């Protein structure tokens, strides 16, 4: 189950809070479709061009605040789960040694 939009997290080895602003981002890496569960921006700064982060739940160290959830969020979770089961797009993984690819995915340094 994905965290709701607006959730605020610390990423592993991170020192700045990240706010979730998008979910289920499908990208092409090395010619194959892969998915990141989340896109986030620095909190409290907000979204800035080329400064958003793509990440998965395995990279979350701590949830600081869980975003708003209502019946629409419940419906999204249900539809997303069905979509994920049908499409079987693997989660993306970014290794530390792949700095060039990471710069593309995370907006550069």
Tens digits of residue pLDDT in 51-101: 888 999 999 999 999 999 999 999 999 999 999 999 999 999 865 434 444
Q: Per-domain residue ranges for the chain?
A: 8-92
CA–CA distance from 60 to each of 21, 22, 32, 101 (Å)? 15, 15, 24, 20
Q: Looking at the predicted structure, is the pLDDT value of residue 49 above 50? A: yes
pTM for this predicted structure: 0.81
Q: Do residues 3 and 9 make contact, with C-beta atoms less than 8 angstroms apart?
A: yes
User: For residue 24, what are its two tokens?
Assistant: 């289920």
């Amino acid at each position: 189950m994905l965290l709701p939009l607006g959730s605020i997290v610390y990423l592993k080895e991170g020192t700045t809070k990240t706010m979730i602003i998008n979910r289920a981002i499908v990208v092409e890496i090395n010619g194959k479709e892969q998915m990141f569960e989340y896109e986030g921006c620095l909190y409290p700064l907000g979204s800035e061009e080329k400064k958003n982060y793509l990440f998965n739940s395995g990279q979350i160290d701590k949830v600081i605040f869980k975003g708003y959830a209502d019946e629409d969020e419940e419906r999204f979770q249900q539809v997303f789960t069905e979509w994920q089961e049908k499409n079987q797009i693997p989660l993306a993984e970014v290794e530390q040694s792949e700095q060039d690819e990471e710069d593309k995915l995370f907006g550069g340094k």
